[in-house]
Amino acid sequence: MSAALNKVTQALAAPFDPSLVKFKPAVVQGNRALALAYVDARVIQDRLDEVLGVENWQDEYDSLPDGSVVCRLRLRLGEGWVTKVDVGSPSEQPDEHDRVKAAFSDALKRAAVKFGISRYLYRLPSTWCDYDPQKRQFRQLPQLPTGKPNKGGKPPKTGAHQLPADGNELVHRLTEYEAKLVAQGICAAGDLLGHLAKAGEKAGHGSDVTRWNADAIAWAAKQVRAFEDARRPKAKKVA
């Protein structure tokens, strides 16, 4: 990688101003919730404009039958264009327009992560905070840690797929995957993470998913498949 290209990729992946980082609840247990950090799609767009210029990035979208949205994000890096693709899920908002809008934003953010944008947020330690379940908001927002985010070790592998490097990344991935299941009507928000927290405690891994080690993360991958299989409607056999 050339020095100029390396400088661009580092600028894309640089941490955001803390004032731009928001938090959402991943797991709610009574008056406490696990807070996950994220940034809005507009923040991603601003980063692309600032680093590359408005003429050096493009985004295209396709809507899927289940309400999900595919984003193809193309960046001009060096002398050529590089494309990353990912899928965003609709939200649980009552207004259909808002649900669709959330899917487009989610798709862009997920594609941008593949270019390193906001990927460091997956490495931030997740924090349990006081939460108001009636208002569905945190009573007090978490404080972002100072210093450089921990990049963690090399993620463990199983077959052709990479597992999360640590419990924090596991929670982020589970939250994103759960959103897809919710959009498909497979479960309600919080069901998957809540199920894993309870099952993990019984299995001896503890209920705090963010502290799980490689063995617990590998165990979780099997539990997710079992959770989904148990809730998906069974295909009717043809006589």
Rounded to 5 degrees, what angle do the CA atoms 192, 18, 217 make? Answer: 30
Q: Which residues have C-beta within 8 Å of that of residue 93, sequence separation ≥ 6? A: 99, 102
What residues does 165 pair with on adjacent strands? none
Least-confidence region, from 60-69, 103-112, 182-191, 229-238? 229-238
Whole-number pLDDT of residue 150: 45
* CB-count exposure of residue 144 (10 Å: 0-12, 13-18, 19+): middle
User: What pLDDT is attached to residue 122?
Assistant: 81
* Alpha-carbon gap, residue 180 to 228, rounded angstroms: 11
What DSSP state is assigned to residue 148? Answer: S
191-213 pLDDT per residue, tens = 888 888 888 888 888 888 877 88
Q: Is 0.85 surpassed by the pTM of this model?
A: no
Which amino acid makes up residue 194? G
- Residue 103's nearest CA partner among 59, 143, 70 is 70
Q: What is the pLDDT of residues 163-183, one digit of tens each?
A: 777 777 788 788 778 777 777
Checking if the pLDDT of 92 tops 80, the result is no
- DSSP summary character for residue 152: -
Write the single-letter amino acid at 74.
R
Helix axes 41-52, 96-113, angle to 10 degrees: 40
Residues 111-122: tens digit of each pLDDT: 999 999 999 888
What pLDDT score does 182 carry?
75
Q: Rounded to whole angstroms, what are the CA distances from 235 to 69, 160, 177, 230?
A: 26, 28, 22, 12
Residue 75, beta-bridge partner list: 57, 82
